[in-house]
Structure 1
Amino acid sequence: MSKLERLSDRFLRVGRHPFRLCSRSNRGHHDQDDFKVCCCCHTDSSLYSKCWPFIFFFSAITDYPMPLPKDKKPGQHRDWSWLPVIVVSSLVTFVYYGYLDRIVCKVYLSCFSFDYCTNMYAVVLLRKLQRMSQAVIYIVPFNVLFLLFIITYGRAVSQPPGYAEDIKTSGSSNNSSSKTVTSQSISPEEPKRSQDLPFSVLGYPRWCESCQLWKPDRAHHCRVCNACVLRMDHHCPWVNGCVGIDNHRFYIQFLIYVTLLASWTFVTSLVAFIQFHGMTTFDSIALTVLIIAGIFTVAVGTFTLSHLWLVLINRTTIENSQFQSWNKDQKSGKTNGRLIQGFTESGKNVFNQGWKNNWIEIMGSNPWLWFAPVHLKPRMKSDGVHYGFDEHILNEYLNEDQSRRSDATNKR
């Protein structure tokens, strides 16, 4: 296990959600949906269905998956899926107005109205002699970061994550130099012979009962989108969809720019607050902007650092969650010989190629375009099916997996 991975075990542990709102129902039904009680009401009740928009918003804020109402199936609750995006857009618009009008214009440019400043910043600054240079230093980076945030957020929302059903699977004979899948590695009781098996460096693909297709390595089924996503990182309500192989880069850029924008807004607003005795010059809107920027700087900044860390060690959020849970069970002796896909018994990641190659696999090989919101899929090393890997760790993983399967067969 590399140093980065050892550090991640300390700082990226997955704990239990602090709000234990869901529990089993006392009803005697056999339907799993009837077993669930959420917010003191059954998920099959009309009250739960009526409160679903608010419950969904809570799920978006806390990133905690709440059970769907009984009348909604996975993928059918998207009628409220744009609510978090609208909230983000409204909040950013408020911060943009409050920062420029109530902090920069009124504090540094002595009460010029935002109506006169909109799209006329250069004219206003040329006419104003007092603290002109400081206003320029504040306004220009703020608008640049705001523009980059809008573009990357739009790309993260609009770009599909990449779905397993869209790829054209090629048989195991397409790459003879790599580990391929044979029919012997598939359990004979699985009636899925009609589909071509996708390439799998781990030795075997997995079958999705919901989508009725073979999943390539690192693909997972999203119950919210009701689809299998290639290299699924997680489902993010704030971008109205999943983060996968095709939009992961835009998502990382979005996190970086929203963190920089919030940090710049908070620091410059705090400087203005201290410099001009803010309680006498800051109104309620300016104070709200300062507080919101501070909260975003801490909360989103921490979230951004954790995702950058996962990119450097080549783990998705799902893989890291599974590994942390498995690692905890291993230390307590509860794994029962179980392995996490892509990880050895010693905790080594098959797909970890070193931080530099891990970064290039997601962000591209051209350093000048790492933070540019342009599509670079043709230059990426992975396509949703083929990924870079460490050959030595892969051999160790395959040997352990084969040994585990042999032991399971002998016990039968």
Structure 2
Amino acid sequence: MTDRPSEQDRGFDPALARGLLSRRGMLAGIGATGLASLLAACGTKGTATKANPSSQAAQDRSDTEKVLSWSNWPEYIDVDDKTKTHPTLAAFTKQTGIKVTYTEDYNDNDEFFAKVQPQLRAGADTGRDVWCSTDWMVAKLIRLNWVQKLDKANIPNAKNVQDTLANVEFDPGRQFSLPWQSGFTGIGYNPKATGGKKIETLDQLFTDKALKGKVTLLTEMRDTVGMTLLAMGKDPAKFTDADFDAAIKQLTEVKNSGQLKGFTGNEYGKGLASGDIAACLAWTGDVVQLQADNPALGYTLPSTGHMIWSDNFVIPNRAKHKKNAEILFNYYYDPKVMAQVVDYVNYISVVKGAEQILVADDPDVAKNPLIFPSEEVLGRAHVFRGLTEAEETKYNKAFQALTTGG
């Protein structure tokens, strides 16, 4: 991931905006089990060949080198607005002596995969000890044997992961991954660029002439195709090849009409804020954070449904500081620490107990329906079904042809 909007335009109380600062909300109350159950179904089907741990691991330097390199999505961790530092990371270094090099260079799953694939394929160090990948990409990395099995002895706080996320389709028993944050995919829009219109449906995104040339969709196939399938009345968890082809056909027609400005990863934020992008498919937390500077920005979860996903910690093969990474995971699964992150990023916390801390520390955040989703919001949330390796190859090829024109 990452995980808010002009609350009035969305039908929510604008007084909630103060607590909403983020990237990809919270599992709380009655809705927690339903939401986590949805997330547990995400992934890509396929069984990895038996891994050889000795070929995956480097000599771990953690005991002598108190450093760690972490790649993550932009705007996906707490920030001190005055110093532009990350308070939880600073506290982690003070507590453990481990200095973290934190890099926001993960804008898109496929783009990031392309950067690290050569090293992983060659059995070389990527220069990173940990990153956060979306469910389906984690499934792919596991299938390729390019991420290492976690030593849970170093992560006792893993017991705090929400029960329904502790065992997921793409990583049974959470042997290779642990969740970082979760969130929704919906529609973000800038009222100044839409002529004051609320953008509440994909039909508006695809056909409203006032938006022509100022609409962006996501380079994440599961988000863009998933939202299109929902608008077509299809369930992303149960679609057929014919349904997928129909969605690609519609998206191709929209592209050929000149309606689209393009396809983006996490970088749509600047254009949306400036009005260069009038409306786009967007992740909940991104828009909320943008609203800290521009409260007029709007966000909609369409009545036809929206997508839900998780981003997850993984440790790549040949990482030099595996134990340090596991110590980092353990730190963030402390409910008090995760509550600080969620209070800033406003995506869905996957740690038990964090919600109760937020209710006490920041009641405004606790009132937000994207952080504490209602049963109605949860009822419209969908996951993209698991894919076989053959399906993933076929669908990605078709989607790449759409986004790149080749």
After TM superposition, the score normalised by the length of structure 1 is: 0.24
Quick check: which one's helix share is greater? Answer: 1
Q: Which has the higher contact order (CA 8 A, sep 6+)?
A: 2
After TM superposition, the score normalised by the length of structure 2 is: 0.24
